[in-house]
């Protein structure tokens, strides 16, 4: 009993410390951005009596706390507050980047404020709209292990919240049904934060009359290890969860593992041993939320890795950051010897803004190699 209490206490302590550190980091970033933008506002309207340091710090604290409360608080009001906070952060980020570019290129503020404000509104507005757009990506994979042609739809990073809710999931389901696939695979981050309020938004997945499999993403268990919402979503939408396991489906071996946030210190090799991967006679698909370098599968009969998480940097030009933090993978097809990885840029994003990148469903055609 004492050991269990100690484990629960330690787990809550770790979560609390990581949350505090996250709030401090976010506050620091926001403080810098608000302060910098405040300087520009003062240049636009010099008569405004603005105490830049104190106002920017207070604003940053409020914005970061409301963003984190969206993750932790259960009441619906906090979902609205958090959703609004995320969009404010998105607009602030665009404003900061534009003003930084202006400062570097012009050396001093010379562009009229109305032009800067108009550019912020246009870019942020188009970025919010872009996050709802979905394109079709086609991928053809050939292998001698494939005895019958298969059509798979792979989606990832839906990031359902109060705004991107039932209409968004229904749109995705309609696109899936239009493809008439044999199997559907979901690479995690079904929701933006694990709240019970989002469960009903996945009921439309019952309309998909072929097997649908999903793994857990980091947003599905944000700042914790509670998988109840993910499990309820799977039940509501007739989705089959793949949690450190494998199965054979129509001659294919499908392997799915939990996100890194749930695996903690457990080694990938130990997780893969749990998955009970069968012999190499089956074409094997490895489903994971975060990309894992193909070199780590050298000893396993895995043919195709499917992952998301990166959003392709979300803003064009930032893909190198996604590549840096995701084992060299950002977006698209990667090969290593006889193994293939495809990293999707997903269907949504935590902060719902895309510039130069698009949401996508990936249609994979598996055919025999002649």
Q: Could you give all domains of the chain from N- to C-terminal order, each with its CATH number?
A: 2-129 (no CATH), 134-368 (3.60.21.10)
CB atoms within 10 A of CB 21: 10
Tens of pLDDT, residues 189-206:
999 888 888 899 999 999
d(CA 95, CA 163): 23
User: pTM of the entire structure?
Assistant: 0.87
Q: Cβ(348)–Cβ(128) under 8 Å?
A: no
Those residues with Cβ within 8 angstroms of residue 240's Cβ, 6 or more apart along the chain or in another chain: 211, 212, 213, 214, 234
Paired residues of 185 in beta bridges: 154, 213
Q: Cβ(284)–Cβ(304) under 8 Å?
A: yes
| Strand ranges, E, within the chain | 134-143, 150-155, 183-186, 212-214, 240-241, 245-249, 252-256, 283-287, 304-307, 332-336, 339-343, 359-368
| pLDDT on residue 291 | 93
User: In Å, how far are 243, 244, 284 from 260, measured between CA atoms?
Assistant: 12, 11, 21
| pLDDT on residue 151 | 95
- List the pLDDT tens digit at each of the 370 positions of the chain: 556 666 555 656 655 677 788 788 888 888 988 888 887 777 776 666 667 778 888 888 888 888 877 776 667 788 888 888 888 888 998 888 888 888 777 766 667 777 888 888 888 888 888 888 899 999 999 988 888 899 999 999 999 988 888 889 999 999 999 999 999 999 999 998 888 888 999 999 999 999 999 999 999 987 667 889 999 999 999 999 999 999 988 889 999 999 988 877 788 888 888 888 877 788 999 999 999 999 988 888 899 999 999 988 887 777 778 788 888 888 989 998 889 999 999 998 888 888 888 899 999 999 987 6
Bridge-based pairing state of the strands 283-287 and 252-256? parallel
């Amino acid at each position: 009993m004492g050991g269990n209490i100690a484990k629960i206490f330690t787990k809550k302590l770790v979560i609390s410390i990581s949350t505090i550190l996250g709030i401090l980091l976010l506050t620091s970033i926001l403080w810098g951005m608000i302060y910098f933008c405040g300087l520009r506002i003062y240049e636009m309207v010099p008569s405004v009596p603005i105490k830049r340091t104190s106002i920017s710090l207070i604003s940053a604290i409020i914005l970061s706390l409301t963003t984190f409360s969206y993750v932790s608080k259960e009441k619906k009001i906090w979902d609205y507050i958090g959703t609004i906070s995320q969009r404010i952060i998105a607009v602030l980020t665009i404003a900061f980047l534009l003003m930084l570019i202006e400062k570097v290129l012009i050396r001093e503020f010379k562009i009229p404020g109305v032009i800067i404000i108009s550019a912020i509104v246009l870019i942020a507005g188009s970025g919010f709209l872009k996050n709802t757009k979905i394109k079709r990506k086609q991928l053809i994979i050939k292998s001698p292990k494939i005895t019958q042609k298969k059509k798979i739809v792979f989606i990832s990073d839906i990031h359902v919240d109060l705004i991107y809710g039932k209409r968004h999931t229904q749109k995705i389901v309609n696109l899936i049904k239009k493809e008439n696939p044999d199997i559907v695979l979901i690479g995690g981050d079904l929701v933006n934060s694990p709240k019970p309020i989002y469960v009903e938004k996945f009921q439309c997945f019952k309309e998909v009359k072929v097997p649908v499999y999903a793994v857990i993403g980091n947003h599905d268990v944000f700042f914790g290890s509670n998988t109840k919402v993910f499990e309820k979503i799977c039940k509501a939408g007739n989705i089959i969860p793949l949690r450190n396991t494998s199965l054979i489906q129509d001659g294919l071996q499908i392997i799915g593992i939990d996100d890194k946030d749930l695996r903690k210190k457990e080694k990938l090799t130990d997780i893969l041993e749990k998955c009970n991967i069968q012999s190499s006679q089956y074409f094997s698909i490895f489903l994971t939320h975060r990309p894992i370098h193909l070199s780590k599968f050298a000893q396993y009969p895995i043919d195709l890795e499917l992952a998301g998480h990166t959003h392709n940097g979300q803003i064009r030009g930032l893909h190198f950051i996604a590549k840096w933090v995701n084992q060299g993978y950002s977006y698209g097809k990667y090969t290593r010897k006889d193994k293939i990885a495809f990293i999707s840029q997903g269907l949504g994003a935590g902060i719902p803004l895309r510039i130069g990148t698009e949401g996508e469903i990936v249609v994979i055609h598996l055919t025999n190699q002649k």
